[in-house]
Amino acid sequence: MVDDPKRRGADADRRAFLTRVTCGAIGAGVGYAVGVPVIKLILDPVGKQVVTTPREALDIGSIGKLTVNAPPTRIEIIAPTIKDAWTAQSDVLLGAAWVRRTSETEVKAYSAVCPHLGCAVGWEGQSFLCPCHDSKFAADGTKMTGPSERGLDELPIQIDGDRLKLTWVRYKLGQEKKEPA
């Protein structure tokens, strides 16, 4: 065989090309086999209910402690059990609600979470005030002044005999519409 420099060059080109393809394929294969499980694991909590709080109504005490048309009472919402990823916890404080008895047979509850950006709302004698951005809300939860997009979120509450049963819900923040988060 005659040593043809041109052909030798072509051989080298072909070898380099094949090497590139092989290395690329190996890189892609190993990257896939390692990368996909790693990404799946990292994405595992996305959209998953990692922290599970009770969806059923919680007993928050007797109706007897509320006086008709008295100022709102702050009640802490305590879940009997929650699960946080791997931990099971008992008696966990979830948040607070402001509760008002509007008549003998009617009780209203408002989430203490400000619908604007989620700070805790307090009762200031005449109205609710969010200390973060000065949103004010009337005793019935309607918005008075400030940046909040909507009034305080009313929480589902029932009277069962003389017990009050409240369902704890978190709503989406910073929008006019009240939607569960």
Partner 1 sequence: MIAKWLRERTGSSEPLMMPGGPSIAYVFGTVLLALLLVEGLTGIALAMFYSPSSTDAWASVAYIQDQASMGWFVRGLHYHGASALVIITGIHLLQTAVAGAYKKPREVVWWLGIVLLLLVLVWSVTGYWLRWDQAAFWAAKVEVGIMSGAPGGGFVKSLALGGNDTGNLTLTRAYAMHVGLISALFVLVTYVHIKLARRHGTTPVKAGGAPTLRWPAQSIRDAVATAIVMAVLIAYVATTGGVALAAPADPGTAFDARPLWPFRWLFELRALAGSAEVIAALAAPAVFGGFLVALPLLDRSDSREPKKRMLWLGGLAGLFAMVGALTVMSFARDANDPTLDKRLAIAEKQAATARRLAAEYGVPATGPLDVYEVAPFSRAKKLFEQRCSGCHGAMSEKRKGPTIADGHGNRAWLAGFLKAPNGDAFWGRTKLAKDEAAMQPVTLGDSDAADLVEWLYAQNGATDLDAKMVERGLAVFDKTCTDCHSRDEGVSGTGPALAGLNSRDYYMSFISNPKSGIHMGVDHSQMPRFDKELSLADRDAIAAYLVSLRSAK
Binding site for partner 1 (CB under 8 A): 15-16, 19-20, 22-23, 26-27, 29-30, 33-38, 40-42, 44-45, 83-90
Strands (E), the chain: 51-52, 58-62, 73-84, 87-103, 106-111, 122-123, 128-129, 136-137, 143-145, 154-155, 157-160, 163-166
Nearer to partner 1, 33 or 70 (CB): 33
- Residue 64 carries which DSSP code? G
| Smallest separation, CB 5 to partner 1 (Å) | 17
Min dist. Cβ of residue 92 to partner 1 (A): 9
Q: Which of 158, 156, 159 is nearest to 170 (CA)?
A: 156
User: What is the nearest approach in angstroms of partner 1 to the Cβ of residue 82?
Assistant: 9
CB of 180 to partner 1, least distance (A): 24
Q: How far is the CB of 45 from partner 1 (least distance, A)?
A: 8
Looking at beta carbons only, is 46 or 70 nearer to partner 1?
A: 46
* CA nearest neighbour of 110 among 69, 140, 76: 140
| Nearest to partner 1 of 88, 93 (CB atom) | 88
Q: Which one, 29 or 156, has the nearer CB to partner 1?
A: 29
Tokens of 115: 């619908």
SS3 content of the chain, % helix, strand, coil (to 5): 25, 35, 40
Nearer to partner 1 by C-beta: 45 or 131?
A: 45
